[in-house]
Structure 1
Amino acid sequence: MLPRLRNAEASDAAAIAALMLPESSSQGGSLHGDFPQEKICHWLTQALADGMPVVLAEDAAGLLGVLFTSSSRHQDSPVAVQMARLHHAAGPFYFYGPVCLAARARGQGLLSAMWQQLQQQLPGQQAVLFIHADNQASLKAHTRLGMVVETPFDLDGQPCVLLSSR
């Protein structure tokens, strides 16, 4: 039985930040390693204010995973600017990720369940994801979801890959 899936609220910020601490989680899609709690709270506030879903999975023991989205209007970071330049979507698109699963949630199909929930909430929009080129685990997981490699690119000397849901 799948855990409960729901959209995050502003009051969830502290629990989400704790889930994303390196000792308690498995992170995917990260370019810059561990996510500081302040950055997570900032992303959560931005996404919720913009009406973008942040999907949570939880069970009786607490959070199992979180899947962030952020609007293409968030052009305040070099990564967002470069992604918008590289991606030539035919229609509306949003930046997908980061994704974080608690260690106890691995192998339960949780990423797929959260992805499906998100696709239902943003029908007709393309998801765009960037990852390190050498992050094979994340690349495999997201190609299994149906995302395809759009283009490789370089960010601050690091080889990266841009994927989209087409």
Structure 2
Amino acid sequence: MTKSITIKVASINDVDAIIKLQTANQTSQGGTLSGGLTAHQIQEMMSDMPQIIATINHEIVGFLLTTSQTVNNKRQVPIVDAMSASYAGSPDSYIYGPICVSEHQRGKGLAQLMFQELLKLEPNREGILFIKSDNLPSLKAHQKMGMHKVSSFNFNNADFDVYTYLSPVQKNNKPFKSENQTL
């Protein structure tokens, strides 16, 4: 059976499903996410940046969250503060992540599809992210997406690498419309 993938900007109605997927992928559950966001934090992030989701048959199987520096500066997230102390980025930069793909959908290109959507929505802006230094699948995936390491830091006795990228400017400057993809 062919599964139809939709990559789109999340709405307020998607917050609970994002949190459910986030919870299932915490380190305490055997996943690799380094922290969790509350519904309020995700809604706040939605207020000024696109939050990208991947769905299959209307079920959220991936998300890519982003935070503007303005929203980030309103709250204290110690691991993000440690990243920012290691590499501040450009004045208009934003924080990429977390990104998460459900266990059964990994390795199928969903992270790349969500990233491509984000690049179209946020042209000519630097994105900054951190990845745990021993998370080789994530490091390889992000390097394949064209991101490059700019620094590293230690947080709670764990090593993290800081990566960055710059979204290319679109030639036609037209809004991007998501299209269904087929697995």
CA distance in 2, matches of 1:107, 1:2: 16
The equivalent residue for 1:78 is: 78
CA distance in 2, matches of 1:26, 1:9: 28
The equivalent residue for 1:48 is: 46
The 1:157–1:106 alpha-carbon spacing in structure 2 relative to 1, beyond 3 Å, is closer
The 1:165–1:27 alpha-carbon spacing in structure 2 relative to 1, beyond 3 Å, is farther
The equivalent residue for 2:145 is: 145
Q: Which of these two proteins has the greater Rg computed from alpha carbons?
A: 2
Contact 1:69 1:95 in 2 (8 A): yes
Select between 94-103 and 83-92 the one with higher mean Cα deviation: 83-92
- Equivalenced residues, count: 159
Encode CA deviations 1:64-106: one digit per residue, 9 max, x unaligned: 2111001112132222323223224345211111111122322
Q: TM-score with structure 1 length normalisation?
A: 0.84
Alignment of 1:1-166 (within 5 A): 3-22=5-24, 30-32=33-35, 35=36, 39-49=37-47, 51-73=48-70, 74-75=72-73, 76-90=76-90, 92-166=92-166
Secondary structure in 1 aligned to 2:7? strand
Q: Calculate percent identity across the aligned residue pairs.
A: 26
Deviation of 1:157 after TM superposition, in Å, equals 2.5
Deviation of 1:23 after TM superposition, in Å, equals 6.9
User: What code does the residue aligned with 2:40 have?
Assistant: H
Q: TM-score with structure 2 length normalisation?
A: 0.77
Deviation of 1:44 after TM superposition, in Å, equals 1.2
Gaps (5+ residues) in structure 2?
167-183
Deviation of 1:124 after TM superposition, in Å, equals 0.7
CA distance in 1, matches of 2:118, 2:104: 22
The 1:26–1:57 alpha-carbon spacing in structure 2 relative to 1, beyond 3 Å, is farther
Contact 2:68 2:95 in 1 (8 A): yes
Secondary structure in 1 aligned to 2:80? helix
Secondary structure in 2 aligned to 1:118? helix
CA distance in 1, matches of 2:4, 2:127: 23
User: What code does the residue aligned with 1:99 have?
Assistant: I
Encode CA deviations 1:93-133: one digit per residue, 9 max, x unaligned: 11111111122322221111100000111111111111211
Secondary structure in 2 aligned to 1:138? helix
Secondary structure in 2 aligned to 1:20? helix
